[in-house]
Structure 1
Amino acid sequence: MSVNNTISLENYASDTGSVSSVQRTRILTLIGTIIAQFALGSVYTWSLFNAGLADKLNIPVDNVAFSFGILSLSLALASSVSGRLQERFGVRRVTIAAGIMMGLALLLTSFTSNIAMLYICAGFLLGAADGTGYLMTMSNCVRWFPERKGTISALAIGAYGLGSLGFKYINMSLLENSGLTHTFVVWGALAAVMVVVGGLLMQDAPAQQASAAQASNNKDFTTAEAMRKPQFWMLAVIFLTVCMSGLYVIGVAKDIGQQYADLSLTIAANAVAVIAMANLSGRLVLGVLSDKMARIRVVSIALLASLLGIAVLLFMPMNMNNFYAAVACIAFSFGGTITVYPSLVSDFFGLNNMAKNYGVIYLGFGIGSLLGSLVATAFGGFTATFYLIFGLLALSLMISLIIKAPQLQTQHA
């Protein structure tokens, strides 16, 4: 396989000595990214810990679940600045620091004695560590393989999704045999080691040469220009809504099963595995589909799936099959939307400023999750949040059916 001219080998090969060393470097970076992403994805097992932490701290489950909303907001904020950290310190150092911070956050969570400490350790610190590693390592790996962006994105995103599935069994076993405190310690140590090892295998991707199509692109919006367009805020509303539905349900899935659907602990906990598989399926299926049809139509399909899932939770009798089907629809929609959205933003506002434009919209990842938890806490249960999400999903679906890409109006002096 040839690197061709998509990566500036002239500069990089002068240091490494040959094209074969470039191949070896980028394969090692891919392996390291997959390892790190798998560990970073483990945060989506959080619903396994809500009940135990609620008992330990003697507070309602909704108050504990709010920590996942804080985690998601912190993750989004950290993701938006991780690129600048990479520019200054390099992907290896930043990834290693993220791994150490993740392990430390989980270790401190094991000693949590009050709700404030839980929000700081399991919310802000854990979210910052996860967000710092997630988008940065994935985008760096994709830049190493410019001729296979879709495949590499699927591998990295798939590893992140599989992390919640793999750690579901690890953490469930630890909780059953070792208790809450020990589980956090082992989880933190294992995740930290995996992220650090992954970081050691990574190197920063060299600059890519702009293609002729990119050079002649006259439809690139700056962030200021994009934010003056109604389409920008329409896309932001859709993204926030999908994140609210996905992250809220993922964060409290086990508790929804036990308290809302009146299922046993074992059946409710299995929702974590269902969510992980549906999340991964959404990323792969909708990601591939987005190369075959308009991406906004793919988002419409994702919104319809999530709307169906919430409708089942609200209006259907709750049993194991309906519960699993509902959370699977919501997780499928969330995973697929997260995968498609960066490219969708570039379709609307151009490729060259995609990272900056998507970075602003990506804040909806954290805000959406936080809003879901706030509504549940304020109104004392799941139902109010489900109705809010149902309404926002219906609105977002209508937006996705009427929205059209804006045209850049060239300014003349």
Structure 2
Amino acid sequence: MANPVASRTRAFTLLGTIITQFALGSVYTWSLFNAQLADKLSEPVSRVAFSFGILSLALAVASSLSGKMQERFGIRKVTIASGLMIGISLYLTGHATNLIMLYIFAGLLVGFADGTGYLMVLSNCVKFFPERKGLASACAIGAYGLGALAFKYILMYLLTTTGLEMTFEIWGFICMVMVIIGGMMMTDAPKQEVKNNNAAGSRDYTLAEAMKCPQFWMLAVMFLTVCMSGLYVIGVAKDIGENYVHLSMTTAAASVAIIAVGNLGGRLVLGVLSDRIARTKAIALALFVCLLGVCALLFAPASAMSFYFAVACIAFCFGGTITVYPSLVSDFFGLNNLTKNYGFIYLNFGIGSFIGSIVASLFGGFAATFYLMLGLLIVSLAISLTVKAPGTEQDDFTAEPLAVN
């Protein structure tokens, strides 16, 4: 019979994680503020929007460091500190008077606060549900996506009724309270028992050990591919619709809602599916759907329907992969060091957010990035169909970490 105290601890940690993720996901409403911030600071929108690129990179870096912070201070203290920091940094963002202050407050501080909480609480929650890792991940990351959708309407209302500065203050206060309440409900997950045999998934790899395995870098390549494709298209979907597919502004803007639905659908569908089939197969399915979307952008006749189909496919892949990946990394390298191992791979989230834009600016537009996405997706799909966890008898690669001279 299940221990009622342990069951209650799991349930409270899951609920606290959902509340925290819901608040942290609100940073993905950032595009709502670009125009008003540009007017306030008398700067071009493109320069103001760059703050979100800094935020994404800071989020990824903080995610890679959060495992160390949890080890030293515990999940509750670090999450509460994350809540305090995001509240203060959003307040400061509202009072920024120049572009440098905006980059520091909105980019570095908000990103670091969000990243500190995001991956740590997600990984901790997944550890509590080793038999339902995909479902637990789907609940947590689904809350992150829903937070972005819900806060969009809250913040739009505040912007029209209270003004820019007050909106940031209220937003910061709401997020701070939610993250602190969520953090107080959490408990550090117990260490998983490590068995001393050679079965796949029976041992835990430290980050140093995992990085010596070729599979680690293969997972990193797949993650980079999905993040670059998803973040680039999500970030400039309206512009792609107007300038590449030649749709009207209203028709192109409808892609925002389609992306939100596709993103959330991917998180829920693939999160649940990944508990029923091999997670590498779930990722392969996501990559194949994304490949269909990119092919539609490159080769289908330009139309609203082909454009909507493309962005829905890419958003579905992005949301689903982000959901499945923590569980996939734990399948390959164990649960106990998940925050560190996935945290390093998660750096590709920040790197990917820059690559698409850089390629587009260097090589003259959207098509160059789409062809890069196409090539990377083909490579990643091949990896997803062949890669196996370290230590499996069928593994085509070395079963032990690679030796280093």
TM-score class, shorter: 0.7 to 0.9
Structure 1 residues 133-178: Cα deviation after superposition (integer angstroms, max 9, x where no partner): 1122222233344454443322212111111111122223333444
Corresponding position of 2:104: 120
How far apart are the structure 2 equivalents of 1:106 and 1:263?
Answer: 35
Amino acid in the other structure paired with 2:135: T
Aligned with 2:193 (options 210, 213, 222): 210
Of 188-197 and 122-131, deviating more is: 188-197
How far apart are the structure 1 equivalents of 2:54 and 2:246?
Answer: 27
Amino acid in the other structure paired with 1:73: L
Amino acid in the other structure paired with 1:216: N
In structure 1, stretches of 5+ residues that fail to align are 4-18
Matches within 5 A, 1:379-390: 382-390=366-374
Corresponding position of 1:105: 89
Superposition TM-score, scaled by structure 2 size = 0.84
Confirm or deny: 8 A CA contact 1:66 1:370 kept in the other structure: no
Structure 1 residues 198-233: Cα deviation after superposition (integer angstroms, max 9, x where no partner): 22222333x24516xx34346545444443443332
Confirm or deny: 8 A CA contact 1:47 1:250 kept in the other structure: no
The root-mean-square deviation of aligned C-alpha atoms, in Å, is 3.1
How much does 1:83 deviate?
Answer: 2.0
How far apart are the structure 1 equivalents of 2:244 and 2:82?
Answer: 36
Aligned with 2:122 (options 138, 141, 154): 138
How far apart are the structure 2 equivalents of 1:259 and 1:189?
Answer: 38
Of 30-39 and 275-284, deviating more is: 275-284
Gap change, CA 1:253 and 1:168, over 3 Å in 2: farther
Match of 2:308, SS?
helix
Match of 2:276, SS?
coil
Corresponding position of 2:219: 235
How far apart are the structure 1 equivalents of 2:29 and 2:142?
Answer: 16
How far apart are the structure 2 equivalents of 1:57 and 1:268?
Answer: 28
Does residue 294 (structure 1) correspond to residue 278 (structure 2)? The answer is: yes
How far apart are the structure 2 equivalents of 1:120 and 1:320?
Answer: 38
Does residue 195 (structure 1) correspond to residue 195 (structure 2)? The answer is: no
How far apart are the structure 2 equivalents of 1:263 and 1:329?
Answer: 19
Does residue 408 (structure 1) correspond to residue 363 (structure 2)? The answer is: no
How far apart are the structure 1 equivalents of 2:368 and 2:192?
Answer: 51
Amino acid in the other structure paired with 1:237: V
Gap change, CA 1:127 and 1:289, over 3 Å in 2: same
Amino acid in the other structure paired with 2:63: S
How far apart are the structure 2 equivalents of 1:265 and 1:102?
Answer: 34
Aligned with 2:66 (options 70, 82, 87): 82
Gap change, CA 1:313 and 1:59, over 3 Å in 2: farther
How far apart are the structure 2 equivalents of 1:366 and 1:410?
Answer: 27
Superposition TM-score, scaled by structure 1 size = 0.82
Confirm or deny: 8 A CA contact 2:213 2:400 kept in the other structure: no
How much does 1:254 deviate?
Answer: 4.4
How much does 1:357 deviate?
Answer: 3.0
In structure 2, stretches of 5+ residues that fail to align are 390-396
Does residue 325 (structure 1) correspond to residue 309 (structure 2)? The answer is: yes
How much does 1:239 deviate?
Answer: 0.8
Corresponding position of 1:32: 16
Gap change, CA 1:282 and 1:141, over 3 Å in 2: same
Structure 1 residues 356-396: Cα deviation after superposition (integer angstroms, max 9, x where no partner): 33232221111111223333455675444334333322332
How far apart are the structure 1 equivalents of 2:370 and 2:112?
Answer: 27
How far apart are the structure 1 equivalents of 2:184 and 2:346?
Answer: 28
